[in-house]
Amino acid sequence: MNYDTNKIYDISEYPDVKSGRCDNCDSSHFKSKIGDGKFLRECRKCGMKKLI
């Protein structure tokens, strides 16, 4: 599946295919931030974002 890297996905709707790895590029390097009580994980390689 090709993911839109401009969209923010919700982990409850799109659980990780491989735990702790990006669904789009299979990288395990992320940058994270917390805002409005939500945890956002962004892949450093392709930019895919997920709310955890």
- Summarised one tens digit per residue, pLDDT across range 2-17 is 899 999 999 999 999 9
Measure the CA–CA gap between 25 and 43, rounded to whole angstroms. Answer: 9
pLDDT reported for residue 42: 97
What pLDDT does 31 receive? 97
Task: Tell me the residue type at 49.
Answer: K
Q: What is the pLDDT of residues 22-49, one digit of tens each?
A: 999 999 999 999 988 899 999 999 999 9
Strands 8-10 and 38-43: unpaired
